[in-house]
Amino acid sequence: MQISVFIDHILQAVSQTKKSLEDLLKQVKESGVDGVEANLTYLCEKKKVLKTLSDAGLKVSCIYEFYEMGIRDEKRRIKKHIKMAKKVGAGRILVVPGFLSEDEAKEALSYKDDYGKLEAFYDKNAAVRRMVEGITKAVKYGQKHGVTVTFEDFDLNTSPICNMNGLKYFFDKVPDLKFTLDMGNFAYIGEDVLAAWDVLKDYVAHVHCKDRGEGLSSVATGGGYLPIKELIEKLKETGYEGYLAIEHFDMDNQEEAIKDSASFLRECIR
């Protein structure tokens, strides 16, 4: 396994420390990190950053982007996303497909523990049907270019994939769609990540190592209450050889948090 980190955290560390991006990337590499998670829009707007990352010896581990597949055709943008991943050798992308209305989400959440009821609701929901159609096309296009398309357990009530049965619905409906396991996001919806692992482990193609402190606060990976070590052991048992991506948005000291997270993950994968 290799370790990556969200470039957003590095950019926040630049702002917090007033160090140069180049210096912080060097530190990140020296801490045992091999890649970065990056947003598609950011990479398109900051084209020179790809050379900066390459010069620092860092790869792009995954490219993520937010979509509105429930209300519009996103074919052009998803193709751009996949082509960017192929260009940088990322191999995988993370798609946040869109969101439900507040009323739709409220009803969907009332069914989250009953797969049959949730499936029936989603089958009838126009936005979800459009998301299924859009992501099915994305997966097929990704396969043509050697890029794996993934969903994560997104931590927002209006997301149709904020819980394990919501995710399972899309994996059942979309052949070859894969899972970015975010270790910290099931806590948002009150679900046990180990129970989710049992349901969704066969779909895992990428991993976000997000830990949680008091409540749902951001902490360095390994500094919270989630079973990160146990999950990594389970990943080892499955033969997972991909990235473990450090994720802790909005930390007061991203520089130190990245170092602490990388140190913890290096110990876990030894």
Q: Helices 7-17 and 21-30, interaxial angle, to 10°?
A: 120
Range 134-145 average pLDDT: 98
Q: What is the pLDDT of residue 252?
A: 94
Task: Say if residue 86 is exposed, middle or buried (CB neighbours under 10 Å; 0-12, 13-18, 19+).
Answer: middle
- pTM comes to 0.95
Cβ atoms of 50 and 88 within 8 Å: the answer is yes
Domain extent at residue 10: 2-269
Per-residue pLDDT tens digits for 174-203: 999 999 999 999 999 999 999 999 999 999
Residues 99-106, mean pLDDT to the nearest whole number: 98
Instruction: Provide the domain count of the chain.
Output: 1
Task: Give the pLDDT score at 215.
Answer: 86
pLDDT over 90, % of the chain: 99
Mean pLDDT of 9-31: 97
Per-residue pLDDT reduced to its tens digit, 107-118: 999 999 999 999
pLDDT above 90 for 82:
yes
CATH number at 221 reads: 3.20.20.150
Average pLDDT, the chain: 97
